[in-house]
Amino acid sequence: MSSIQDQFPDLGAHHAVYEAIDPKSGLKDSASGKVVFIAGASRGIGQATAIAFAEAGAKAVYLTARSEDALQETQALVSKANPQTQCAYAICDVTSAEQVEAAVADCVAKFGSIDAVDANAGYLGPWVKIGESDPEGWWWNWEVNVRGAYHVIRFTLPHLIESAKRFAAEDRSSGHLILLSSIGAQFLMMGASDYQTAKHAINRLCEFVQSDHGEDGIKCFAIHPGGVSTELGRNMPEAMHEYLVDEPELAAGFAVWLCSGRADWAKGRYLSATWDVGELAALRDDILQHDLLVNRLRAKV
């Protein structure tokens, strides 16, 4: 695995929140006045992200997931983190276009807008060779990870476009859309064909969102949240568990950082929450000049 990682940018790695992406200090009030829509907010990274936006002063956070009990827990944690941040939720399966559309409409009806979106809902089943896989189980990875992300994108985009225009008039950045990818999108690991192809598709989908709607003010990112010991992460083979060393708050703070406008120059790209954001920003000119951190076939001659 380390030999593959050598192909990634040579940046300092973090495993927990640090000053530059801390919603309570370095990013304090960066989300003020914003309504944040989070899909998959009932536990783990999604829950931590909801709390982080509250800590960063969000006007409101709207939560979706399939478990009402878990949503209520996240709602209580959001209110505890910042009593001034409004919070509501909807029971929602992202594989259902109707449910996602209804949740988006409810969010706008309650809070007036959607200014940032985190498409965090995901699925990882058991790793099985293609020739031994269950067809329904294999495809369910794509249903949740790709179709689910598409539904969130499709129904929030019109509101994000309106938000980008409104905040631009105030000389602030908005219209941010975060898609949960994975470092696995860059790998080829036996038995992971369903998950890794789905996450690779997320990276490309991010590029299409940016290509189609960049002129509308949208800033889309596909992020690796780090190796987090969530219920999903622990579905990987036990040999991979040694890489689950990152706290969910790291990805949460990184999401708040992306939505602060500080990384708008990197829109349309794959980024890792573990990368030091100061070092990443220092590579800005090289990344843009050579169009790096995107899906491309390049051959050396």
* pLDDT tens track for 58-68: 999 999 999 99
In a domain, 219, yes or no: yes
More confident residue, 56 or 245: 56
Residue 15, classed as helix, strand or coil, is coil
In a domain, 24, yes or no: yes
More confident residue, 254 or 237: 254
In a domain, 173, yes or no: yes
Q: What pLDDT score was predicted for residue 1?
A: 35
* pLDDT tens track for 123-144: 888 889 999 999 999 999 999 9
In a domain, 296, yes or no: no
Q: What pLDDT score was predicted for residue 8?
A: 75
Q: What pLDDT score was predicted for residue 2?
A: 37
Residues 6+ apart with CB under 8 A from 148: 39, 94, 95, 100, 119, 121, 122
Beta strands in 16-169 (DSSP E): 35-39, 60-65, 86-91, 116-119
In a domain, 297, yes or no: no
Residues known to be catalytic: 195, 199
Q: What pLDDT score was predicted for residue 5?
A: 45
Residue 158, classed as helix, strand or coil, is helix
User: Is 80 exceeded by the pLDDT of residue 157?
Assistant: yes
Total number of domains in the chain: 1
* pLDDT tens track for 32-82: 999 999 999 998 999 999 999 999 999 999 999 999 999 999 999 999 999
In a domain, 213, yes or no: yes
Cα angle 110-116-121, degrees, rounded to a multiple of 5 = 90
Q: Quote the domain boundaries for residue 279.
A: 2-289
In a domain, 233, yes or no: yes
CB atoms within 10 A of CB 27: 24
User: Is 80 exceeded by the pLDDT of residue 101?
Assistant: yes
Q: Provide mean pLDDT across the span 213-224.
A: 98
Q: What is the CATH number of the domain that holds 211?
A: 3.40.50.720
% of the chain with per-residue pLDDT over 70: 91
In a domain, 295, yes or no: no
Cβ distance 66 to 93 under 8 Å? yes
% of the chain with per-residue pLDDT over 90: 81
Q: What pLDDT score was predicted for residue 166?
A: 97
Q: What pLDDT score was predicted for residue 226?
A: 85
